[in-house]
Amino acid sequence: MKNGAEYIIEFLEKKGVEVVFGYPGGQILNFYEYLGRSNLKHILVRHEQAAAHAACGYARVTGRPGVCIATSGPGATNLVTGIADAYLDSIPMIAITGQVKLQDIGKDSFQEADITGITTPITKHSYLIQELSQLPGVLDEAWQVATKGRPGPVLIDVPKDLFLEEQDMAAIHSHLITRKVAREDNTEKMMPLIVERLSQAKRPLILAGGGVISAGAWDALAELVQRTGIPVVNTLMGKGAYPENQPLALGMVGMHGLAPANLALSHCDVLLCLGTRFSDRVTGNRRNFLEKACIIHVDTDAAELQKNVITDFPVHRDLNEFFKILLEDPALVKSEANAQWISRIHQWQKKYKQPTEFSGPLLKPQAVIQAVARMADPDSVVVTDVGQHQMFVAQNYPISSRRGFLTSGGLGTMGFGLPAAMGAAFGRPGAEILLFVGDGGFQMTLQELATIREYRLPIKIFIMNNGNLGMIRQWQGLFFEKHYVASDLPAYPDFIKLAGAYDIPAVRINAPAELDEKVKLALETQGPMLIDCQIEANEYVFPMVPPGGKPGDMIGRWQDETHICCISGE
Amino acid sequence: MRHTFAVLVENNPGVLSRVAGLFSRRGFNIESLVVGETEDKTTSRMTIVVEGDERVLEQVSKQLNKQIEVIKVNDITDDESVNRQLALIRVAADQSSRQEILQITEIFRCRIVDIGRKSLIVEATGDEIKIQAIIESLKPFGIQELVRTGKVAMVRGVK
Ligand SMILES: Cc1ncc(C[n+]2csc(CCOP(=O)(O)OP(=O)(O)O)c2C)c(N)n1
């Protein structure tokens, strides 16, 4: 005989879960009672949103589901942002929430909220346990749902009384998932044509999305590039899918993609899209996205095919299976025109270089990021929050390690960075965690400094402090005639003092001259450290494809530092 | 284009709200939705009529398929199928008009299921065109109340 709480804990342990992130409350106290007696390590965060983001950070670095726990009502609703974040970035996550007693459900009881209903559109599935005998089946199924196919979050809501109810649960099995009727697909028929297109293309290109990383298909992608010589661009979520220190890695495409990458995208004649969903941040105007190119789209989620962009070859396959068929085909070869295409890309790379040398008395965000990238261990995990600094990191910090880059891509959640970095620190013990965060986003979840201090997590918090909501200011500067509304952040708090209050060491970098020395100091410091980088307030992220534009049509500064010019992809 | 989907789902509480929510969230237009238990108590059949172009319909079917509780989705628009709706029509009927109404119901093979002093309730089943025709022919007498179901459908032929 086992009670509900014991059963859940035993299940998580059997699945190899070591760490869970959570916050207690009345309806889940019974569960905590047993959690406290188990071998599972529970990390008490300081706000449930952070539990969800931390679980997400943990999942992003390990590839295994992160687990977060909250009480009913406000505890559960505080998870919502983190769950939505995991949903849009396809991160496997299990959220367990306490619910009011079975008989109290539907009565507007104290701390009752319909969290399964609230999370229906932002989970792969949400379960309300209505009798204890459902628990084994639901847990099994929830784990499968979170991890299989396209990963994502799952929520399990457990009424308080079921944690203590006992039952012999050995004989109960899950039945739901196995009933699903499979759909046919015609991948086999398309494959020879796909191979032919790739091998005969004049200007072939690979677009790697986050799906490559969740499928763990790094080696297969590298082999494909090696064999065909096709250059690779990536989405924000696909950063690190192909090592960025390789010559054929052109970097990120999209709204703030690098110019050569965006130009390659707009000029390619055959585009192989792997595990990506044609977000509007990538395509700009979806209506006429690469009208003339042949697009091959491979995704494990059939619903992504033909959803945002109509493609010539929609392939519904797990990426690993797709690669296996593709790479086994001897007809797949490097196209004859490849060399010419690559040399054209090289010209773009020469012409449209991102700045690497910075003059002037003010500290440039790019300079900070490049300095850290130069000096840090390449196996560090790089985490960002959301805003200008996020794009600067995506452009300026080459990632070559696997699962070494964590960012909130789909939801663009400010406040993601600090707790996600925490989760990453637990998921990858021993690794250095480098967080870049804006002064705005940092203030959304800074309560977690306490958790970070408690466990002395090796997180280096680089606050890219520009005294404003940089990305908002940039849009107001470019599209609202410099009418700056609600985007100033006056210089409070003093982040050095704040770190002091949490007993976390901190330094401030004021000028370019002290950059290297202070970054070095930070990287050599054990445990957490906060680095308040006083960066220039008026820097814009360039290039930029204006919203709704075409991938190749960008504005930016290439000739000199002050002049904004346009390039066209035509 | 109007399409009919036959969707087999787990017979769980909440599955209807999930499916309905999916439609509103993704901006699909439901024209009608009928749900009921099948021969197997653990499953239900939804018959959903949707309006949209080819691309929307493809998305509808794929998004439905992604739902954990959805077992099978069939677009039966182009299949030979039996389609039925049910309507209950309360129509004003006095001594003088009663006979004429009875004749009409006979022609359409409807049934009178209730007789009041001043009205009748007519039960009609059939495909949409037939139901519409009945309603039209009863209109002149004065329809006091009308309820109708959405469409249920089943593909013809031996399985
Ligand atoms: C929770 C949330 N609220 C609002 C936004 C909209 N938003 C996007 S970027 C941004 C500014 C971010 O400013 P900061 O954190 O200082 O970073 P910076 O852009 O200066 O690097 C805002 C408000 C968001 N992405 N997330």
**CATH code reported for the domain at A2-173:** 3.40.50.970
pLDDT at A424 over 70: yes
pLDDT of residue A174: 54
* Beta pairing partners, A22: A44, A69
pLDDT of residue A176: 53
Task: Please report the number of interchain residue pairs, chain A to chain B, with beta-carbon separation below 8 angstroms.
Answer: 43
pLDDT of residue B158: 59
A266: Cβ below 6 Å to ligand 1? no
pLDDT of residue A180: 72
Q: Contact A180/B69, CB-based, under 8 Å?
A: no
Distance of residue B16 Cα from the nearest chain A Cα, in angstroms: 12
For the ranges A25-39, A545-559, B37-51, the lowest mean pLDDT is seen at A545-559
CB B89 within 8 A of CB B112: no
Q: Which residues contact A390 (CB under 8 A, 6 or more apart)?
A: A384, A407, A436
Choose which residue among A395, A414, A445 to substitute to test ligand 1 binding: the one with the highest number of ligand atoms within 8 A of its C-beta: A414
> Confidence class of residue A61 from pLDDT cuts 50, 70 and 90?
very high
A393: Cβ below 6 Å to ligand 1? no
The pTM is what?
Answer: 0.95
> Confidence class of residue A175 from pLDDT cuts 50, 70 and 90?
low
pLDDT of residue A453: 98
Of A116, A130, A181, nearest to B72 by CB-CB distance is A181
Looking at chain B, which residue has its C-alpha nearest residue A307?
A: B59
Distance of residue B82 Cα from the nearest chain A Cα, in angstroms: 23
- Phi then psi for residue A314, to 5 deg, are -85, 115
pLDDT of residue A85: 98
Q: What percent of chain A has pLDDT over 90?
A: 90
pLDDT at A513 over 70: yes
pLDDT at A567 over 90: no
- Over residues A344-369, the mean pLDDT reads 94
Report the distance separating Cα A381 and Cα A434, nearest Å.
6
3-class secondary-structure state, position B159? coil
pLDDT of residue B63: 95
Report the distance separating Cα A425 and Cα B114, nearest Å.
73
Give alpha helix (H) positions in A160-306. 160-164, 187-200, 210-214, 218-228, 259-267, 280-283
- Over residues A33-57, the mean pLDDT reads 98
Which residues from A are below 8 Å from B72, CB to CB? 181
Q: Contact B14/A128, CB-based, under 8 Å?
A: yes
Q: How far is the centre of ligand 1, averaged over its atoms, from the C-alpha of A387 (Å)?
A: 5
pLDDT at B147 over 90: yes
Report the distance separating Cα A52 and Cα A416, nearest Å.
9
- Over residues A263-274, the mean pLDDT reads 97
Q: How far is the centre of ligand 1, averaged over its atoms, from the C-alpha of A33 (Å)?
A: 39
pLDDT in tens, A438-472: 999 999 999 999 999 999 999 999 999 999 999 99
Of A116, A176, A301, nearest to B10 by CB-CB distance is A176
Q: Which ipTM was obtained for this model?
A: 0.86
pLDDT at A171 over 70: no
- Phi then psi for residue A543, to 5 deg, are -70, 165
pLDDT at A240 over 60: yes
Q: Which of the listed CATH numbers 2.40.50.140, 3.40.50.20, 3.30.70.260, 3.40.109.10 matches domain B2-75? A: 3.30.70.260
Q: Exposure string (b/e) for A120-149, b if CB count within 10 Å is 16 or more? A: bebbbbbbbbeebebbbbbbbbbbbbbbeb
Choose which residue among A390, A469, A484 to substitute to test ligand 1 binding: the one with the highest number of ligand atoms within 8 A of its C-beta: A469
Q: What percent of chain A has pLDDT over 70?
A: 97
pLDDT in tens, B66-113: 999 999 999 999 889 999 999 999 999 998 999 999 999 999 999 999
Distance of residue B72 Cα from the nearest chain A Cα, in angstroms: 6
Question: Phi/psi class of residue A543: alpha, beta or left (left: φ > 0; alpha: ψ in -120 to 50)?
Answer: beta
Closest residue (by CA) to atom 8 of ligand 1?
A387
Annotated domain spans of chain B: 2-75, 81-155
pLDDT at A178 over 70: no
Q: Contact A121/B10, CB-based, under 8 Å?
A: no
Q: Which residues contact B81 (CB under 8 A, 6 or more apart)?
A: B4, B153, B154, B155, B156
Q: Is the dihedral of CA A115, A120, A124, A127 positive or negative?
A: positive
Q: Which residues contact B17 (CB under 8 A, 6 or more apart)?
A: A117, A120
Count of Cβ atoms closer than 10 Å to residue A219 Cβ: 11
Looking at chain A, which residue has its C-alpha nearest residue B10?
A: A176
Report the distance separating Cα A134 and Cα A173, nearest Å.
9
pLDDT at B20 over 60: yes
Sheet of A153-159: strand order equals: A41-44, A19-22, A66-70, A93-99, A153-159, A125-128
> Token pair of A388, please?
């200008």
Q: Contact A141/B68, CB-based, under 8 Å?
A: yes
pLDDT of residue A185: 78
A408: Cβ below 6 Å to ligand 1? no
Annotated domain spans of chain A: 2-173, 187-351, 365-534
Rg of chain B (C-alpha set): 19
Q: Which residues contact A111 (CB under 8 A, 6 or more apart)?
A: A25, A26, A27, A71, A72, A73, A74, A75, A100
Half-sphere exposure for B134 (CA within 13 Å, toward CB): 30
* Bridge pairing between strands B29-37 and B70-75: unpaired
Please name the residues between 58 and 77 in chain B that touch chain A, using a CB distance below 8 Å: 58-59, 62-63, 65-72
> Token pair of A155, please?
């929520």
Looking at chain B, which residue has its C-alpha nearest residue A145?
A: B68
> Confidence class of residue A287 from pLDDT cuts 50, 70 and 90?
confident
Of B55, B67, B71, nearest to A306 by CB-CB distance is B55
Average pLDDT of every residue of chain B: 93
Report the distance separating Cα A290 and Cα A278, nearest Å.
12
Q: How far is the centre of ligand 1, averaged over its atoms, from the C-alpha of B62 (Å)?
A: 34
pLDDT in tens, A408-417: 999 999 999 9
Give alpha helix (H) positions in chain B. 15-25, 54-66, 95-107, 128-138
Report the distance separating Cα A117 and Cα B21, nearest Å.
10
| Class in CATH terms, B81-155 | alpha beta
Of A120, A128, A179, nearest to B21 by CB-CB distance is A120
Distance of residue B62 Cα from the nearest chain A Cα, in angstroms: 5
Q: Which residues contact A39 (CB under 8 A, 6 or more apart)?
A: A13
Q: Contact B65/A302, CB-based, under 8 Å?
A: yes
Sheet of A313-316: strand order equals: A249-252, A232-234, A204-208, A270-274, A294-299, A313-316
Q: What CA–CA distances, in Å, run from A402 to A210, A239, A381, A423, A521?
A: 12, 10, 9, 16, 26
**CATH code reported for the domain at A187-351:** 3.40.50.1220
pLDDT in tens, A476-501: 999 999 999 999 998 889 999 999 99
Looking at chain A, which residue has its C-alpha nearest residue B21?
A: A121
> Token pair of B116, please?
């009041």
Report the distance separating Cα B26 and Cα B56, nearest Å.
10
3-class secondary-structure state, position A209? coil
> Token pair of A303, please?
């619903």
A441: Cβ below 6 Å to ligand 1? yes
Half-sphere exposure for B91 (CA within 13 Å, toward CB): 27
Element (H, E) at A158: strand A153-159
Q: Is the dihedral of CA B73, B75, B81, B85 positive or negative?
A: positive
Fold for the domain defined by A365-534 = Rossmann fold (3.40.50)
Show the beta-strand stretches assigned E in A80-152. 93-99, 125-128
pLDDT in tens, A532-556: 999 999 999 999 999 888 888 999 9
Helix A388-396 to helix A365-375 angle (10° resolution) is: 40
> Which residue type, as a one-letter code, is found at position A205?
L
Instruction: List, by residue number, the catalytic residues of A.
Output: 48, 110-111, 160, 471
Looking at chain B, which residue has its C-alpha nearest residue A144?
A: B68
- Over residues A399-407, the mean pLDDT reads 97
pLDDT in tens, A42-53: 999 999 999 999
Q: How far is the centre of ligand 1, averaged over its atoms, from the C-alpha of A469 (Å)?
A: 6
- Over residues A164-191, the mean pLDDT reads 76
> Token pair of A444, please?
């959304």
